[in-house]
Structure 1
Amino acid sequence: MVQPSNVTPLSSTPLSSSDDNTFNDAIDSSSHSKSSSSSSKRTRGRPAGSKNKQKLTFVINRSSEHVEKPILIQIPRNSDVIETLTQFARDYQTSITVQTASGSILNATLRDDSEYEISTFIVHGPFTLVSLSGTCINNNSSTTLSSNFDCFFNICFCSNIDQSFMGVVGGKVIAGDDVVLTATIFKNS
């Protein structure tokens, strides 16, 4: 343990009340010299009548319910990818946008738009999923179970014998191995 008598102050001479006055006199004299030199300088800030107006500040509300959130969704084997996305959006009362997808699919129902009618056809695989993109929008703002969804998805996939397919999803897309989707969920305004 250190004894008080063993502690040496940084200054070898103790301060007295006369030293305090000397210190205050030094501060007063330096402030007088600064004030006389600062009066010769220009004042800071905007001059009166300046056309350079201050910019408005914007307040961003970070607690908004309409914030987009990126997510990853893994869809298990033999599940319908589109139905799983729709069910997810229904359960959480959100809309969902899919940006990318990877994995394999067993079959896909594509839409064939002819001049007079819209028909669908099924392509049987297995296929490697190249891309899946689209949106499923929740049109019902209430939290009832009978939510109305508008879904539109484009898909691109290829087979192992160099066949590639691209089109609009017209029904089910059945997952082969686990399909992983990168998506964004958002609440409608």
Structure 2
Amino acid sequence: MAGSGDLSAITSKTSENVVRKPRGRPAGSKNKPKPPIIITRDSPNTLRAHAMEVSPGCDIGESLATFARRKQQGVWVLSATGFVSNVMLRQPSMSSAGPGSGPVVTLHGRFEILSLVGSVLPPPAPLGVTGLAIYLVGPQGQVMGGAIAGPLMASGPVVIMAATFMNATFDRLPIDKDEAIATAATHDQLHGRAIGVSDIYAPSQNMTTLPPPEIYTWSMARPLSKA
């Protein structure tokens, strides 16, 4: 019986020395990795990279215009590689008539593309915004270039690197002082509440101090027809 009494005393002392579990979350429990955010809808600001191949005998400019019209997206041409033939180039004009009034020169033969830059927009688009410029090297190593003023026929496979976009806004610069003040006020009003894509790309009905902006917005991309 004395042994059982000693066992009870030891058990009571052991229970008193047991450390109680602290309340609240354990340290570091809030640092668990969060699941990634997945965006399921493209933004109108998104630029998509494309590698396009133009078949031999096709007009490169017409092929890009057809692509932009059917996809209802603007095309920003970054570079190109390949060969073209019988190129029509518009030379720079020093007269006061402005750009696009220079003489047109036709280059006969086969030329390698050094650079191809420019933009192609689907209708409607403001005049003077679209256009392509090209630099070529001839068989003797001569380099020439200018704005494309006619058909640009591919004499072999031509690979074009381009980016497509859905929206474009045409701005007239420079902006005068009154317009800048009104734009800043509109900016503050928009950022005083939650704004979305429609707020940025659609003109507000209450903006009476500014002239209506020229905004060119195209519909969502559609797959190209196989025909």
Whether the 8 Å CA contact 2:119–2:130 is kept in 1: the answer is yes
SS in 2 for 1:140: coil
- 2:68 corresponds to 1:84: no
Alignment match, 1:140: 124
Whether the 8 Å CA contact 2:92–2:146 is kept in 1: the answer is no
Query: Which amino acid in 2 is paired with 1:27?
Result: V
Matches within 5 A, 1:61-80: 63-80=42-59
Q: Tell me how far 1:105 sits from its aligned partner.
A: 0.6
Whether the 8 Å CA contact 1:99–1:134 is kept in 2: the answer is yes
CA distance in 2, matches of 1:107, 1:181: 19
Q: Give me the TM-score of the superposition, normalised by structure 2.
A: 0.52
Whether the 8 Å CA contact 2:65–2:122 is kept in 1: the answer is no
Query: Which amino acid in 1 is paired with 2:70?
Result: D
Whether the 8 Å CA contact 1:136–1:149 is kept in 2: the answer is no
Match of 2:106 among 106, 111, 122: 122
Give aligned-pair identity as a percent: 25
Q: Tell me how far 1:118 sits from its aligned partner.
A: 3.3
CA distance in 2, matches of 1:112, 1:23: 97
SS in 2 for 1:106: strand
Report Cα offsets for 1:65-121 as digits up to 9, x if no partner. Answer: 341100010001111111100010001000000101001111211112431543322
SS in 1 for 2:147: strand
Query: Which amino acid in 1 is paired with 2:138?
Result: S
| Consecutive aligned runs of 4 or more in structure 1 exceeding 6 Å deviation | none
Query: Which amino acid in 2 is paired with 1:77?
Result: P
Match of 1:26 among 18, 23, 26: 18
Q: Tell me how far 1:64 sits from its aligned partner.
A: 1.6
CA distance in 1, matches of 2:111, 2:16: 86
- Which 5+ residue runs of structure 2 have no aligned equivalent? 1-9, 24-38, 168-216, 218-227
CA distance in 2, matches of 1:86, 1:77: 17
- Which 5+ residue runs of structure 1 have no aligned equivalent? 1-17, 33-59, 142-147
Distance 1:78 1:149, change over 3 A: farther
Q: Give me the TM-score of the superposition, normalised by structure 1.
A: 0.62
CA distance in 2, matches of 1:132, 1:140: 23
Question: How many residue pairs were aligned?
Answer: 137
Distance 1:84 1:26, change over 3 A: same
Pair member with larger Rg: 1
- 2:123 corresponds to 1:131: no
